[in-house]
Amino acid sequence: MIDLVGFDGDDTLWRSQEFYDRAQEAFEAILGRYVDLASRGLRDALLATERGNIALFGYGAKGMTLSMIESAIELTDGRIEARDIHRIVRLGKEVLAHPVELLPGIREAVSAVAANHRVVLITKGDLFHQEYKVARSGLADIFHRIEIVSEKDPAAYTRLFAEFGVAPERFAMVGNSLKSDIAPVVELGGFGVYMPYHSTWAHELIADFTLGERVIEVAGAEGIPEAIARMHSAGE
């Protein structure tokens, strides 16, 4: 039986990645004034810088912006102008201020699951930005608890299980990231409802995980309640 259901935030409840993708495109346009984008491998360089900075800056738009500035200085050998650094800062501010737009049918799906199970929102990233999005989503009152964590790994989920007094096999996580939402939960003995999003940050991709009998893939929010119901019935 399923006692507790977790929901991811970004790109599961509301749109997020496309705002980062637009910032990436604008960043490349800025750097294109200084370097040959193809020959310098800008995207790979930025991703490597972001990955290296996660332990210091965490996830989110602020860390992205600082990594963009660092990469811009390195890739241009310090030639980038102050006005273009300012433009990069504005890109980060635009991501932080983007509107919160729920994915189609997600409000109904969360409400349907909450009618039969305890539900918790588990999202990672910058605390202020995530609080901003949760508050403007209109979904906060549905959740029994909201968890904003620095990383979504087995240790984080284990703490959650202990705090809720729930066994891993009675937990299901709904999300778009196999790396952060599904794989750690399945590793611990829980279940996953995988709802792919049309765009995924390269850092969230995972190559060595395959969907098994503990994971149900859904095409959209409308499939979430049925997937949870199937998992719940299978354990009775």
Residue 212's pLDDT is: 83
Question: Where would I find the H helices in 32-153?
Answer: 37-40, 42-57, 61-75, 82-96, 106-114, 127-137
Q: Kindly report whether the global pTM for this prediction surpasses the value 0.85.
A: yes
Question: Are 90 and 26 within one domain?
Answer: yes
85-93, Cβ contacts within 8 angstroms, sequence gap of 24 or more: 87/26, 87/30, 88/27, 88/30, 89/65, 91/23, 91/26, 91/27, 91/65, 92/23, 92/61, 92/62, 92/64, 92/65, 92/68
Residue 23's pLDDT is: 94
**Closest Cα partner for 81 from 34, 37, 49?**
34
Question: Are 82 and 179 within one domain?
Answer: no
Tell me which of 56, 74, 96 is where a domain ends. 96
Instruction: Calculate the average pLDDT of the chain.
Output: 92
45 has a pLDDT exceeding 70: yes
205 has a pLDDT exceeding 80: no
Question: Are 121 and 28 within one domain?
Answer: no
Residue 63's pLDDT is: 92
Question: Are 151 and 215 within one domain?
Answer: yes
234 has a pLDDT exceeding 90: no
Residue 235's pLDDT is: 59
Q: Is 118 helix (H, G, I), strand (E, B) or coil?
A: strand
Residue 50's pLDDT is: 85
Q: How far apart are CA 28 and CA 30, in angstroms?
A: 5
**Closest Cα partner for 120 from 8, 232, 1?**
8
Tell me the CA distances in angstroms from 174 to 5, 35, 43, 126, one per residue in order. 7, 41, 29, 20
Tell me which of 78, 96, 114 is where a domain ends. 96
Summarised one tens digit per residue, pLDDT across range 57-111 is: 888 899 999 999 999 999 999 999 999 999 999 999 999 999 999 999 999 999 9
**Closest Cα partner for 176 from 154, 198, 155, 161?**
198
Q: What six digits make up the tokens of 183?
A: 């794989």
Question: Are 57 and 115 within one domain?
Answer: no
Question: Are 85 and 114 within one domain?
Answer: no
Tell me which of 96, 115, 137 is where a domain ends. 96
What share of the chain has pLDDT > 90, as a percent? 75
Mean pLDDT of 149-174: 95
| Domain with 225 in it | 4-15+100-234
The CATH number linked to 72 is: 1.10.150.240
Q: What six digits make up the tokens of 211?
A: 């969907």
The CATH number linked to 8 is: 3.40.50.1000
Q: How far apart are CA 96 and CA 3, in angstroms?
A: 34
Summarised one tens digit per residue, pLDDT across range 175-204 is: 999 999 999 999 999 999 999 998 876 777
CA 186 to centroid of chain Cα atoms: 18
The helix, strand and coil proportions of the chain, stated in percent and rounded to the nearest 5, come to 55, 15, 30
Question: Are 115 and 91 within one domain?
Answer: no
Residue 127's pLDDT is: 87
Number of domains into which the chain is organized: 2
Q: What six digits make up the tokens of 160?
A: 């959650």
Q: What six digits make up the tokens of 137?
A: 């989503």
Tell me the CA distances in angstroms from 6 to 57, 72, 88, 112, 186, one per residue in order. 25, 38, 35, 14, 13
Question: Are 170 and 85 within one domain?
Answer: no
